[in-house]
C-alpha cells in the first residue's frame, strides 16, 4: 500500500466519495480513506462503568475491536492520520477514542466538513486542527448522565410497567413532562363560554369581546347576552381600508423544521426522515443534517443568487437572514443542497422527494416576498337602542390573491396549496366595546355590499341586511 496518509471517516458510505475528491485534489494514492463505522468504545453493559469520582471505564463495543485492529495495520505505515469524523460532539469523541486506541496522537490531525464536496474537502484539509477536548468532555457528560439516570430509572420503570423499560437522560424528562400534563388534565375544570360569528357571502366577522372580559378570566360566560348579539340583523360599514402587505417565505430547514415538514408533507416518521437525510448527506447531495441554524452561508447564497438570475427568478439582492431561537448553537448552517443546479439525485421516490423539499425551501427563502392586498372593514350595528344598549363596531380583514411580481415558481411550489383564510374580529354589537375571544354560537347570512367609488377612501355605505 503506497498511501502515506490515512483518513478515517465515521461512516463507510462516505469512503468512496471522500476518496475520489482527495484523489482529484492531491496526487492519486497519496491518501487512503477508511472508516470507524461509528463508535468503537462504550461504557460496559454489565456494570456501572463509572468510579466514585466519575472516571469512566471504556470497553470495545461489538465490532469495535476488529475495526481498530484493521485500522492499526494501516496506521502503522502512515506518516499522517486525519481524523475526519462528523463535526459534532459525538464525532469529536469518536476521533478522540480513535486517537487513543491507535496511539497516534503525535501524527494525527482533526479535520471537519459539513458537506461532502470538493471545495469543502479541500478547505478542511488545508485547515487541520487538534481535537477539541471540551467537546469530548461535553459528549462524555451526556453519556455519564444517561448511565447514572438509566441505572436508577430503568429499574424503577421496569418495576412499575412490569416489563423492561429503558430510562435515560431524555426518557426521564419526558416522563416527568407527561406526568405533569396528566395531572393538569385531571385537574382541569371545563367552563362553557360564548362568542358570535357572523357569516357574510365570502367572509366572516367575529365578535370582539376584549372589553367584556377580565385579564384573569379571558372567557365570556354570559349566554343570554351572546344570544342577543347573535340576533342583530342590520350593520353599517363605517370604515374601509385597503393596503398591500408582504409575507416572508419560510426559512431554510433546521433539523426540527425538517422533521416536521417530512412528517406533514411526506408522512415520514422521524427515524425514516433522518435516515434518508443521512444518506443524502453521505452521498454529497446536502449539507450536514443536524443543525439548529435557519441561516445559509455566503457561499450558499451566492449559488442561489446565480441560479435565480440565470432562471429569471426574483431573488433578493442581499442574503436574507432569519431570527435564531434562544440558546441555538448555530455551529452548522441550515440544511441545503450542495449544488443548486442539480435537480434529480435518486430514482428512489422518497429520497428524491426529500431532496426536492430541501431544495425548494432553501431557494425560496432568498426570493422576494409574496405580496397581498389586505382589506379591513369596520362594522357597526345599525339598530339603535337594542334593549337600551349602545351600538357596536366590527372589524374584518381579508387577504386577496398574492401579486405575481413578488413570487416565482420555486417559491409557489413550497407554499400551501390551500387558499389563505380570512381573519376578522369585531366589537360588541350591543355596547361598542371591543373583544378578543371568539367561539360562535349562532350564524347569520347577509346581503351584498356596495362600494361608493366617488369618495377618496373607499367607503361601503349600504347597510348589511340579513337575508
At 176, which helix (H) or strand (E)? helix 169-187
* Residue given cell 369585531 in the structure block: 426
Side-chain-facing half-sphere of 32: CA atoms under 13 Å: 15
Distance, in Å, from the CA atom of 467 to the CA atom of 464, rounded to the nearest integer, reads: 9
From the list 132, 169, 164, the residue with the least C-alpha distance to 147 is 169
**For the residues of 259-308, what is the DSSP string, one character each?**
HHHHHHHH---HHHHHHHHHHHHHTTSB--S--------HHHHHHHHHHH
**For the residues of 49-90, what is the DSSP string, one character each?**
-B-TT--B--EE-TTHHHHHHHHHHHHTT-SEEEEE--SSHH
C-alpha cell read off for 144: 455519564
Q: Are the beta carbons of 61 and 42 closer than 8 angstroms?
A: yes
Q: Looking at 21, 288, 355, 372, which residue is catalytic?
A: 288
Query: Around Cβ 190, how many Cβ atoms within 10 Å?
Result: 5
The answer to whether residue 26 is catalytic is no
DSSP-assigned beta bridge partners for residue 286:
337
CA 361 remoteness from chain centre: 11
* Residue given cell 485492529 in the structure block: 69
From the list 188, 190, 191, 207, the residue with the least C-alpha distance to 199 is 207
C-alpha cell read off for 273: 426522515
* Residue given cell 497519496 in the structure block: 30
Distance, in Å, from the CA atom of 464 to the CA atom of 118, rounded to the nearest integer, reads: 67
3-state secondary structure 197-232: EEECCCCEEEECCHHHCECCECCCCCHHHHHHHHCC
List helix spans (H) across 311-454: 349-364, 409-412
Q: Are the beta carbons of 290 and 332 closer than 8 angstroms?
A: yes
Residues designated as active site: 288
Amino acid at each position: 500500500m503506497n498511501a502515506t496518509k490515512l483518513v478515517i471517516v465515521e461512516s463507510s458510505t462516505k469512503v468512496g466519495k471522500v476518496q475520489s475528491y482527495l484523489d482529484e485534489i492531491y496526487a492519486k494514492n497519496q491518501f487512503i480513506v477508511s472508516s470507524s463505522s461509528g463508535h468503537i468504545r462504550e461504557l460496559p453493559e454489565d456494570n456501572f462503568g463509572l468510579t466514585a469520582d466519575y472516571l469512566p471505564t471504556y470497553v470495545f463495543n461489538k465490532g469495535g475491536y476488529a475495526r481498530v485492529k484493521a485500522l492499526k495495520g494501516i496506521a502503522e505505515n502512515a506518516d499522517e492520520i486525519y481524523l475526519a469524523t462528523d463535526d459534532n460532539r459525538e464525532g469529536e469523541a469518536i476521533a478522540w477514542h480513535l486517537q487513543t486506541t491507535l496511539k497516534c496522537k503525535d501524527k494525527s490531525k482533526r479535520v471537519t466538513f459539513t458537506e461532502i464536496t470538493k471545495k469543502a474537502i479541500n478547505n478542511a484539509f488545508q485547515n487541520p486542527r487538534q481535537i477539541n477536548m471540551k467537546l469530548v468532555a461535553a459528549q462524555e457528560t451526556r453519556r455519564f448522565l444517561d448511565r447514572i439516570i438509566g441505572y436508577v430509572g430503568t429499574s424503577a420503570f421496569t418495576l412499575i410497567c412490569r416489563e423492561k423499560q429503558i430510562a435515560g437522560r431524555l426518557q426521564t424528562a419526558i416522563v416527568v413532562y407527561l406526568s405533569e400534563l396528566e395531572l393538569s388534565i385531571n385537574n382541569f375544570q371545563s367552563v362553557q363560554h360564548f362568542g358570535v360569528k357572523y357569516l357574510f357571502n365570502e367572509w366572516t366577522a367575529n365578535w370582539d369581546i376584549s372589553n367584556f372580559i377580565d385579564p384573569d378570566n379571558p372567557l365570556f360566560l354570559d349566554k343570554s347576552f351572546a344570544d342577543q348579539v347573535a340576533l342583530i340583523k342590520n350593520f353599517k360599514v363605517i370604515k374601509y381600508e385597503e393596503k398591500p402587505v408582504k409575507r416572508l417565505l419560510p426559512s431554510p430547514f433546521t433539523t426540527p423544521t425538517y422533521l416536521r415538514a417530512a412528517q406533514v408533507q411526506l408522512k415520514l416518521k422521524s427515524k425514516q426522515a433522518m435516515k434518508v437525510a443521512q444518506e443524502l448527506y453521505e452521498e454529497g447531495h446536502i449539507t450536514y443534517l443536524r443543525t439548529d441554524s435557519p441561516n445559509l452561508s455566503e457561499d450558499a447564497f451566492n449559488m442561489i443568487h446565480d441560479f435565480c438570475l440565470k432562471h429569471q427568478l426574483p431573488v433578493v439582492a442581499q442574503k436574507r437572514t432569519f431570527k435564531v431561537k434562544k440558546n441555538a448553537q448555530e455551529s452548522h448552517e441550515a440544511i441545503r443542497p450542495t449544488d443548486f443546479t442539480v435537480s434529480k439525485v435518486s430514482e428512489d421516490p422518497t429520497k428524491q422527494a426529500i431532496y426536492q423539499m430541501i431544495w425548494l425551501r432553501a431557494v425560496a427563502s432568498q426570493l422576494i416576498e409574496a405580496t397581498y392586498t389586505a382589506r379591513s372593514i369596520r362594522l357597526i350595528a345599525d339598530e339603535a337602542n337594542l334593549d337600551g344598549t349602545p351600538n357596536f363596531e366590527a372589524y374584518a380583514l381579508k387577504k386577496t390573491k398574492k401579486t405575481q411580481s413578488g413570487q416565482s415558481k420555486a417559491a409557489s411550489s413550497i407554499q400551501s396549496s390551500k387558499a389563505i383564510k380570512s381573519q376578522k374580529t369585531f366589537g360588541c354589537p350591543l355596547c361598542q366595546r371591543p373583544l378578543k375571544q371568539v367561539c360562535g354560537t349562532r350564524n347569520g347570512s347577509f346581503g351584498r355590499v356596495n362600494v361608493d367609488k366617488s369618495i377618496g377612501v373607499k367607503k361601503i355605505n349600504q347597510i348589511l341586511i340579513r337575508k
